[in-house]
Amino acid sequence: MRVALVDGGGTNIGSVSYALERLGATSRLTADPADILAADRVILPGVGAAGAGMRRLRELGLVDVLGQVQAPLLGVCLGMQLLFERSAEDGGVATLGLVPGEVVGIPASAQVRVPHMGWNSLTGIVDDPLLTGIEEGERAYFVHSYAAPTGPHTLASTDHGGSWSAVVRSGLRWGAQFHPERSSSLGARLLRNFLVEVDR
């Protein structure tokens, strides 16, 4: 199986690659459109701000390419946020438009720390191949200040001063707001499911 890791500059690329290796999968770090379009699975990792992430993808000529991907595609952390139509970060950024909706800032308060950093439970889990074997209440590792509100594309949510999408899907595009590569057995299960359970 050809797994393309999109080289969008995310600092979590190496850890995602190692997590895939632990599952026996070999991935190719690439910004080559031909590699990405020929892959059996495409992963868009990301850490940082939406503006910088989209700028990098535009510089590489990958915005349209990612829209043309016919294989299952998984966005991770910022990579998930970039799948949406827009992010409120950096004063408002048009993103890839592959999942309907807008990413917004998590409101801080005396009870809610931003960024949201640490282990949080997944709730409202919807039956989906990506979440096979993942149970209600299992915990994943999050690091983020922006999030997608829950909606019709939400497969699992998490609570941090409100309910936010933890996993989303639109067609063959999935996103995980948490870091599966840092989420122990739950994260390994999700990545394995992406490799072997999801289908064209």
Q: Which residues are catalytic?
A: 77, 179, 181
DSSP annotation of 129: G
Question: What is the rounded CA–CA span in Å between residue 163 and residue 25?
Answer: 33
CA angle 173, 174, 175 (to 5 degrees): 130
Residues written for the chain: 200
Question: What is the rounded CA–CA span in Å between residue 176 and residue 78?
Answer: 9
Using DSSP's 3-state secondary structure scheme, residue 74 falls into strand
Question: What is the rounded CA–CA span in Å between residue 91 and residue 149?
Answer: 18
Distances in whole angstroms, Cα of residue 190 to Cα of each of 18, 19, 162: 15, 11, 24
